Structure 1
Amino acid sequence: MARVINRLTARQVATAKPGHHADGGGLYLQVTDSLAKSWVFRYERLGRRREMGLGSVQVVTLQEARQKAMEQRRLLARGEDPLALRVSSRASGLRTWGECVDEYIAKCQPEWKNDAQAHQWEQSLRDYGPDRKLPVTAIDTPTVVACLNKIWTTKTETATRVRNRIERVWDWAKYSNLVAGENPARWKGHLIHVFPKASKVKKVKHHAAMPYAEVPALMRQLRKSDIKTCNALRFTILTAARTEETVGARWEEFNFAKARWVIPAERMKGGEAHVVPLCTEALAILNSLPRDRPPFSLSENTMLFYLQKPKNLGLPYTVHGFRSTFRDWAAEETDVENHIVEMALAHKIKDKTEAAYRRGQLIAKRRELMQAWEAYLSTG
């Protein structure tokens, strides 16, 4: 009897628990204890069982994984060993920069806090890094400098991250015997002589937070579009969350029965788990999204660009500024106690005596606050 293939569904991929889940034909979904997901291809060659990685779920879709598995089965049918071919390809220096980036991300993903981190790496290196089609052996200092020159003074924080990511991928390529010599993206003793220190670059002045009186009109505009960025921005405003908390959200963090979003400690700025009571509109946004991928798998600046770029909204505000907007509204339009607002924003209560008495999470009171915020955003 022929082996059954294409067993997995997109929903099964999205909700899979730790372990190996067979799609058939040697393709498996590998889920670690931290719920990082990647594809592997298992086969037997000359009596020896072998396994090769095909990339992370964040980078490689179910259909793409099946196509890659089919390619490996074709190699086996021709009497070739897929892993041996991969190794010989690396040894000959034929690997592209893009292939190295993808493989490094797949290797590191189990160690990272969430799937969004892999997406951020891929997006930043695709937008600002070397051409993915270049051989990894062609990534030299002029190539790196040309990439960073475009953004070092205008997007300094992004530039420093891109430089660091290029350095790490190149180091991995050297460890894998794909390249040799000094790392062209290293900072000390090298690029430090080319670019000014990030701390010395004139900081771009942050835009002011949107006045709370203007936010209902913005929400009406965002509700007219069903694109992912608009949904993510609405959700962020409704929950008074930080950008990284939204883009890194995972389905398992949401308790729909209790209408709560439990953000784990490792994803919080303060290092403590945070519970967000979800209002009706926030729940509706979540329920409208497909479950075969993280709810808001965007790069860290996508919402900001949508907010500020003239071709989109063209507003002089930041996404993070909506947290200040929420605070201003709560202070001026409600009689909610300050410490409840602080807890809604996941801020530490500075007064130690008050903090000692406020160890509970005050979910009921915070739910009333978030429902009042939702009601306000629906006015006008």
Structure 2
Amino acid sequence: MAKGIHRLSARQIATARTGHHADGGGLYLQVTKTRARSWVFRYQRNKRRRELGLGTASVVTLQEARERAIELRKALARGEDPMAARLARRAAQRRTWGEVCKEYIDTASTEWKNDAQAAQWRQSLTDHGPDAKLPLEHVTDAVVLACLKKIWESKTETATRLRGRIERIWGYAHYKGWVSGENPGRMKGHLEFALPKASKIKKVKHHAAMPYADVPSLMRLLRKRGSKSSKALRFTILTAARTDETVGAEWSEFNIPKARWVVPPERIKGGREHVVPLCAEALAILDSMPKDEPPFRLSENTMLYLLNKPDKLGLPYTVHGFRSSFRDWAAEETETENFIVEMALAHTIKNKSEAAYRRGHLIAKRRVLMNAWEAYLSMAARVKIAA
């Protein structure tokens, strides 16, 4: 690079002859034989001289050219190659947002808990995210904000997850060198100034639970349907499991001879291994499932759609709500001690003396409880049981 900067004046630019005229710091005025004037930035990379065009002098002013040269020198100082970055950006213009989303999800999902998580990402981005056909560089602050505003107050939890996913995908594209600039999905110091705090608008919404007296009738309907989603819902109700525990289950977690389902800590909300004693109907459901893939490989919302969709069951309840149905049934219809029911639900026990029982899984006592739940769901019989 030539020594000294800001060498050129307006008059020199206007009267310069054919050739390259240094302004300093790698910035040159290039004048062709036809008297066309343009700005170029010269630098060396791996002992090779490179030249980057910055625009014609009739459009880009001297001051603007100098500002662009400053940014390029900063990039070089960071160890970046401005030419490679430009080529990457041009490639990104041919790369769509949908293509980048797919590539990121395919890459990241190898470390995720289960296939359902990838399905959730795809679904939320498809339903509420930027248009998949948009060129990557066109996914701007305005585009992201417009997507989020549509659901920020009506579907706050979905919106916050969507924002985080957009931020991750854009970050991935930035790491790959496909985009530059600020991340349009970033909340802190960015979107927080355009969107109200989620904690201020999020309404506490309890999971709609079916009265336990009605659950046996639902189970009869589900047994008649026989679809994969209906089997998954039956299994979830019988085991009082959470949705993600069911859809993320792997065959390796089941000990069929001992009639146990061991859910690993990383898939349990409380972060502790949870052992579920399996009743006869739960075992029969497992036996009916194909063995060449996880038993309940479904999107997390599949069971909810089965419950809620008018063309399905058309019921105003949530899958998670059946845990409350089970809890109410155990309190009303059995004499089971509270901490055993809490253990069946994989809840954290706050009482220290009761929590001491977690040193064991109390499988025998919980098996009695879960078998009684199965009997109730099969016969609708209100059976009192001893703990």
State the TM-score, normalized to the length of structure 1: 0.71
Cα distance, 1:202 vs structure 2: 4.3
Specify the structure having the higher radius of gyration (Cα): 2
Residue ranges of structure 2 left out of the alignment (5+ in a row): 1-86, 381-387
**Structure 2 counterpart of 1:319:** 319
Cα distance, 1:323 vs structure 2: 1.0
Counterpart contact for 2:97–2:133, Cα < 8 Å = yes
Residues 43-62 of structure 1: CA distance to partner in whole angstroms, max 9, x if unpaired? xxxxxxxxxxxxxxxxxxxx
1:244 is aligned to 2:212: no
Q: 1:358 to 1:189 in 2, by over 3 A?
A: closer
User: Secondary structure of 1:224's match?
Assistant: helix
Cα distance, 1:112 vs structure 2: 2.6
Residues 302-357 of structure 1: CA distance to partner in whole angstroms, max 9, x if unpaired? 32333233333332322222111111111221222222212111123332223325
**Structure 1 counterpart of 2:161:** 161
Counterpart amino acid of residue 246 in structure 1: T
Cα distance, 1:189 vs structure 2: 2.9
Q: 1:337 to 1:313 in 2, by over 3 A?
A: same
Counterpart contact for 1:247–1:297, Cα < 8 Å = yes
Q: Distance in 1 between matches of 2:217 and 2:254?
A: 28
1:215 is aligned to 2:207: no
The 5-angstrom pairing of residues 1-380 of structure 1 reads 91=91, 93-203=93-203, 205-357=205-357, 359-380=359-380
Q: Distance in 2 between matches of 1:207 and 1:264?
A: 25
Residues 173-193 of structure 1: CA distance to partner in whole angstroms, max 9, x if unpaired? 111111222212221233223
Cα distance, 1:261 vs structure 2: 0.9
Q: Distance in 2 between matches of 1:103 and 1:90?
A: 18
User: Secondary structure of 1:276's match?
Assistant: strand
Cα distance, 1:290 vs structure 2: 2.4
Counterpart amino acid of residue 165 in structure 2: R
Residues 25-76 of structure 1: CA distance to partner in whole angstroms, max 9, x if unpaired? xxxxxxxxxxxxxxxxxxxxxxxxxxxxxxxxxxxxxxxxxxxxxxxxxxxx
Of structures 1 and 2, the one with the larger relative CO (CA 8 A, separation 6+) is 1
**Structure 2 counterpart of 1:76:** none
Counterpart amino acid of residue 261 in structure 1: W
Q: Distance in 2 between matches of 1:118 and 1:347?
A: 26
Q: Distance in 2 between matches of 1:111 and 1:202?
A: 30
* Segment of structure 1 superposing worse, 233-242 or 110-119: 110-119
Counterpart amino acid of residue 98 in structure 1: G
Q: Distance in 1 between matches of 2:119 and 2:368?
A: 35
User: Secondary structure of 1:150's match?
Assistant: helix
Q: 1:300 to 1:194 in 2, by over 3 A?
A: farther
Identity %: 69
Q: Distance in 1 between matches of 2:206 and 2:356?
A: 35
Counterpart contact for 2:97–2:132, Cα < 8 Å = yes
Q: Distance in 2 between matches of 1:110 and 1:337?
A: 41
Counterpart amino acid of residue 268 in structure 1: I
Q: Distance in 2 between matches of 1:244 and 1:164?
A: 20
Residue ranges of structure 1 left out of the alignment (5+ in a row): 1-86
Counterpart contact for 1:246–1:296, Cα < 8 Å = yes
Q: Distance in 2 between matches of 1:188 and 1:357?
A: 43
Cα distance, 1:214 vs structure 2: 0.4
State the TM-score, normalized to the length of structure 2: 0.70
Q: Distance in 2 between matches of 1:92 and 1:146?
A: 22
Cα distance, 1:172 vs structure 2: 0.6
